[in-house]
């Protein structure tokens, strides 16, 4: 049974965890509060991979007041030795009496072991408080641990009539300054940003984080280009800014194109890997599996209608980040995504609206793949 004081402390722990939103990759974002008789005596959050976990920092802040206290943690405490010592050991050493955590850690090295170790030591353990919020905060980490793939968030900008560019390809800018700044905040929380070579050739994007906010550029996501035939130009703006660029291609090392093109790209800082090909380029499931191996939790896709449509068609897009501008571009402008011709409305991909928020003069919609239960159950 949870009390109001428990909910207050866990809410504070979640707020602390969000301070690591852009800095903890590939680790989860975790916050911890130590409370003694309803009064907070210590708090902390995980800041960077390889550094102290939230529990350790909160215990340090609490000092001797941790004895007999309750620890509120947004994720099950770890019980294994990684780059840092196990948090369970720190909690035991501090003589914590009770641990409340929001959600079990899906990491196979933890996954219930932390809970069991605490109980075996005689500590009262309760879980499930604000589980939904804690899971959402680490949606990419949970996805990668459970499936081996990152959480795929497809960012798109559109007019009111679902168009992304004029017939000529001109698209700068459909949305306003505030919306474009907002995109950078979503990039900052992502482990990687991915696009296709056609977008590189057409728009020459940088795909990095450019924000004036303090600490906003501390984390630069991995930039990934899907380039089946190694067409990325070495003079692309991707290579003029800080951060790693990974080019995934279908060209094998035995191909005559490999050595000269890879040498030119590598000279500008690119890393090139060959992955299995599909009929029209790279096999997207293999791409996501490789990014999972590289410990990418959240992947933001900023690409054209073909790649975005293919991710949707194959059921590989988990979320849409859709910016809608109050403009009409007309029927000859370019479409939002390319999808196969549908025979029935039931074949249309469905989404659940998570959030609608005005950003400057535009509206940002967050949509989760899959129709909402009430929509799916509607009678014809």
d(CA 102, CA 73): 7
Q: Is 4 helix (H, G, I), strand (E, B) or coil?
A: helix
193 pairs with which residues across the strands? 223, 300
d(CA 204, CA 197): 9
Q: How many residues does the chain have?
A: 380
Tokens of 299: 């992947």
Q: Give the helix ranges, DSSP H, for the chain.
A: 4-17, 54-62, 87-93, 113-120, 131-137, 139-147, 177-189, 197-203, 258-266, 284-293, 305-313, 373-376
Q: Is 213 exposed, middle or buried (0-12, 13-18, 19+ CB in 10 A)?
A: exposed
Angle of the 54-62 helix axis to the 4-17 helix axis, nearest 10: 120
Q: Does the active-site annotation cover 55?
A: yes
Considering the candidates 47, 51, 55, 374, report the single residue annotated as catalytic. Answer: 55
Tokens of 374: 């009430």
Closest Cα partner for 129 from 55, 60, 31? 31
Mention every residue, 6+ apart, whose C-beta is less than 8 A from residue 305: 164, 334, 335, 336, 337, 338
Q: Is 375 helix (H, G, I), strand (E, B) or coil?
A: helix
Stated as kind and residue range, the H or E segment containing 152 is strand 151-158
Tokens of 265: 């790209």
CA atoms within 13 A on the CB side of 235: 0
Closest Cα partner for 107 from 76, 85, 129? 76
Q: How far is CA 304 from the centre of its chain?
A: 20
| Residues marked as catalytic | 55
């Amino acid at each position: 049974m949870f009390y109001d004081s428990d909910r207050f402390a866990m809410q504070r722990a979640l707020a602390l965890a969000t301070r690591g939103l852009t800095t903890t990759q590939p680790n989860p974002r975790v916050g911890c509060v130590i409370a003694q008789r309803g009064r907070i005596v210590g708090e902390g959050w995980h800041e960077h991979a390889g550094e102290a976990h939230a529990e350790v920092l909160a215990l340090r802040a609490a000092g001797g007041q941790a004895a007999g206290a309750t620890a509120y943690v947004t994720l099950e405490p770890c019980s294994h030795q990684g780059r840092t010592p196990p948090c369970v050991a720190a909690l035991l050493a501090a003589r914590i009496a009770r641990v409340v955590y929001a959600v079990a850690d899906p990491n196979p090295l933890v996954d219930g072991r932390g809970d069991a170790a605490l109980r075996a030591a005689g500590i009262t353990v309760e879980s499930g408080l604000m589980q939904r919020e804690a899971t959402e905060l680490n949606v990419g980490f949970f996805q990668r641990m459970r499936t081996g793939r990152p959480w795929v968030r497809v960012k798109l900008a559109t007019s009111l009539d679902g168009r992304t560019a004029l017939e000529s390809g001109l698209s700068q800018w459909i949305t306003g300054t505030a919306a474009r700044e907002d995109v950078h905040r979503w990039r900052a929380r992502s482990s990687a940003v991915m696009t296709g070579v056609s977008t590189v050739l057409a728009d020459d994007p940088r795909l990095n984080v450019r924000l004036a906010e303090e600490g906003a550029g501390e984390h630069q996501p991995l930039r990934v280009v899907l380039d089946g035939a190694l067409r990325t130009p070495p003079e692309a703006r991707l290579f003029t800014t800080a951060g790693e660029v990974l080019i995934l291609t279908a060209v094998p090392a035995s191909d005559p194109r490999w050595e000269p093109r890879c040498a030119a790209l590598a000279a500008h800082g690119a890393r090139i890997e060959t992955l299995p090909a599909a009929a029209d380029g790279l096999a997207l499931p293999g791409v996501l599996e490789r990014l999972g191996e590289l410990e990418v939790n959240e992947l933001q896709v900023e690409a054209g209608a073909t790649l975005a449509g293919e991710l949707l068609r194959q059921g590989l897009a988990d979320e849409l980040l859709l910016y809608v501008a109050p403009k009409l571009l007309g029927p000859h402008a370019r479409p939002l995504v390319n999808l196969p011709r549908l025979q029935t409305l039931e074949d249309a991909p469905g989404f659940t609206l998570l959030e609608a928020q005005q950003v400057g003069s535009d509206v940002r919609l967050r949509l989760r793949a899959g129709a909402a239960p009430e929509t799916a159950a509607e009678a014809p």
